[in-house]
Amino acid sequence: MNLLKEAVMSICITAVCVGVIEMLLPKGSFRAPMKLLTGTVLIISLITPILNPPDIQFDVDAEYSNLYKTELYDKSLESLMQNSAVLIKQNISGIIYQNGISSAKIKIIMDKDHESRIVIKGAEIYLNKSDMDRADKLIREIKGQTGIDVRVEEEKQSG
């Protein structure tokens, strides 16, 4: 659209200049060749955009490919987040088991930042009431070994 605007502006400016030059021409034998010259200049300015069209390219396949790559990237990122959460849970489960706790529910809290990087916000661990006395030591060990902030809560008994 911008190229069309530039071509029209160029033609208009040329037409105005040709008109001004023709008005300033003196009457006589000099006027006819000058009108021929200014007319030729005007015709050339009209034909130039047609003979030398701008290089406009729109690659539908490339646009579709970029869309597909974005969708593929988002799916890959989601898959990576899920796999990372599983590995972090396994790591935390090992630390919990080393502390003599046989049963715990673990929830990993993850998100993406504005640059689509994975951010591990923390972990929530739900322990049985009998294991809550080891919560502080467990929090320190998990933070020390993984660097992840952990919140430990007592698991609610369904009943």
Distance CA 139, CA 134 (A): 9
The answer to whether 77 touches 118, Cβ cutoff 8 Å, is yes
Give the residue among 68, 66, 69, 50 at the shortest CA–CA distance from 58.
66
CATH 3.90.550 fits 66-154, yes or no: no
pTM here is 0.55
In the block, residue with structure tokens 């406009």: 56
3-state secondary structure of 19: helix
- pLDDT, averaged in runs of 10, over the chain (159 residues): 77 86 81 84 82 64 62 82 90 90 89 83 90 90 90 79
What pLDDT was estimated at residue 103?
83
What pLDDT was estimated at residue 75?
83
